[in-house]
Amino acid sequence: VCGPGSIEQAHKPDEFIEISQMQAGERFLDGLLGSLKL
């Protein structure tokens, strides 16, 4: 499972993530995509 937020809250009623979790997920994906560029 890859993505921001807690798995305990994922895909349930009232699902949410904190803005800081979204920002951390964005940094992770930016780094991953940067490392995959050939």
pLDDT at 13: 92
**What is the model's pTM?**
0.70
Q: Which amino acid is residue 9, in one-letter code? A: Q
Give the 3-state secondary structure of residue 10: coil
Domain boundaries defined on the chain: 7-36
pLDDT at 33: 92
- Contact 4/21 with Cβ under 8 angstroms? yes
| Residue of 31, 35, 33, 27 lying closest to 4 (CA atoms) | 27
pLDDT at 38: 61
Q: Tens-digit pLDDT profile for the chain (38 aa)? A: 788 888 888 889 999 999 999 999 999 999 999 999 86
Distance CA 10, CA 5 (A): 7
